Structures are given as C-alpha cells and as structure tokens.
Amino acid sequence: MAVIMLDQSGDFVRQRFYRIHIAFSSHSSYGQTDEWIVASHPREAQFAYATCIESVREEVHDCSEEPAHVTGYFYNEVKVDLFGLGEIGPCVPALTVPLVRQDVAGQIMESGLIGADARVARIHDDVRTAAREIGISFLRFSGRRIWRYPRIWPESEDKCPFCGHGPLSCRTCGWSHANCAQCGIRWIEGGDEEDGLDDRRIKHDRKSMDAGAILDVNRWDGSDFIGGTMSGIVTWRALDFLLRIHAAPLKAEPMRADVRGISEEQRDWLKRAERPVRSIN
C-alpha cells in the first residue's frame, strides 16, 4: 500500500546547520532539546513584537526536471504592524517572517556571509514615529532549499488511487499537487472533503514524519543563509556571527544533515562553514 514518508536514512553530521527561530521569549523551552542554542536579551520582555499585515511573494522554480514546479517562496515586500510599548530589539518577534532591526540587518549584509539578503519592511502608519526612524528589515534566506521532501513509497505506487495517473510527485524536487492532474480528485489525506473517499487516499507515515526533518547536503549551493523566507537555515558560521552581534531573542535548532554523495567542493564548503567570519568591530 502506498504511503507518504520521509526517508530517515543517511550519513548524518550535526551542529553544521541550524534552523533559526526568532523567539517571542527565550525563556520558554517548549519543543526544545538540550542541543538548541538560545540567545537571550536582558530587556526582551519589554521588546515590541510584530505581525505581517501585507506581503508580496515570489515563487522559486529551481527543479532541474520541470521548471514549472514551485520549490519555495520568498517575500519581496512586507508591511508590519507593531504591538507593545517597548523598544525595538535586535530581533523582532513575528509569526510568519523573520524580522530584525535595521542596523542588525546592515551588519548581516556587510558580513560576507553567502545568501544573506535583508530588505526594509514597511511599517504601518499608526505606529509611533520612533519605530519608523529606527527601521525594521525582513530576512530572505536566498540559498537553495535543501530540505528533504517526503515521497510516495513504494515508487511503483506513485500514482492516483482513483484513476491511476502518475507520478503524483516529482522524484527530483518533491513537488506535488494535492489534486490529481488527470481526474481532479484529491489524492492525499488531510482535506476537508466529506465525500467518503478518505479510505482510498494516500496516507502519511506518521512515524517517519515525526522523526524529524533532514537536510540533503548534496543539493547545497554553499550558502550560509539557506532555504526561503519563512523558515530559514543557517550554517554554524552564520549562527556564530548572529550570536556575536547579539541578535536576540533568538533560538537555533540543530538540523540533521545527510552528507552522502557530496562533492569535494561541498566538503570544502562544510569546512568553511565551521570557521568564523571576520571579527566584529
């Protein structure tokens, strides 16, 4: 029987890549393990926080097999509203987009880190003038996405359970659409349909999905800021830089990275990612 699963095999390295979370509070440990790195700030309880109220997104198409496949998104424009009466901290907590104070964004852009991209966020007109003068930027993690995608297994069953059309997912980039391109019926579980067809839809293998995300280093382009605006990955040296410029409140979740099949150039990039960038003035 076909299932959607995340392949958990690999030759893994740790503490090379981290998923960045700009935290509302560095003191909450919900969902964390002892491996997480936490950067706190003594005044973070007084920091303002934000919500994104307008945005313009750009699709990423980097599949080598089919350029029409959407493999990710970037924000091109963001408008935010601020809450709380406190100061603008180095990192500005928000749910959907990583925000930093504009001077912090400037340090990141001047660091020499690869894939770092920060753009000025527009601030709602009702927000106090001081916040607009300080400025807020949103981070774009512009390096190629290297998340491992779930796949339909066995590969021979990668076809619609209703009409037999296949494959449903791209074996190169992992792209898929919830509705079959031929019959139009939703083939994946999890929709709101009440059509009595859920017993035929392809299910997720919860055990493999809950075992945690994996990065495939053999797809890495050497960037220090990797993988899209809404959920970015950084190398160790990028995280080290953020900690040294006191970017907080911030949490860094170590990611499992599979190094099977990597090139010599990628091995050199891994060594570079272990070395700090230039000293902070």
Q: Domain extents for the chain? A: 3-147+213-273
Are residues 274 and 34 in contact, defined by beta-carbon separation less than 8 angstroms? no
Give the residue-averaged pLDDT of 161-169. 94
pLDDT at 54: 93
The mean per-residue pLDDT over the stretch 252-266 comes to 97
pTM of the model: 0.90
* pLDDT of residue 168 exceeding 70: yes
Assess contact for 68 and 170: CB atoms under 8 A. Answer: no
| pLDDT band at residue 203 under the 50/70/90 scheme | very high
Q: Is the pLDDT of residue 183 over 70?
A: yes
At 14-36, the pLDDT tens digits run: 899 999 998 887 877 777 888 99
Q: Which class for 119: exposed (0-12), middle (13-18), buried (19 or more C-beta within 10 A)?
A: middle
Mean pLDDT of 192-220: 85
pLDDT band (50, 70, 90) for residue 79: very high
- Please give the backbone phi and psi of residue 239, each rounded to the nearest 5 degrees, phi first: -65, -45
* pLDDT tens digits, 112-143: 999 989 999 999 877 666 777 889 999 989 89
What pLDDT is stored for residue 232 in this prediction?
86
pLDDT of residue 132: 76
Summary mean pLDDT of the chain: 89
Tell whether omega for the bond before 254 is within 30 degrees of 0, i.e. cis.
no
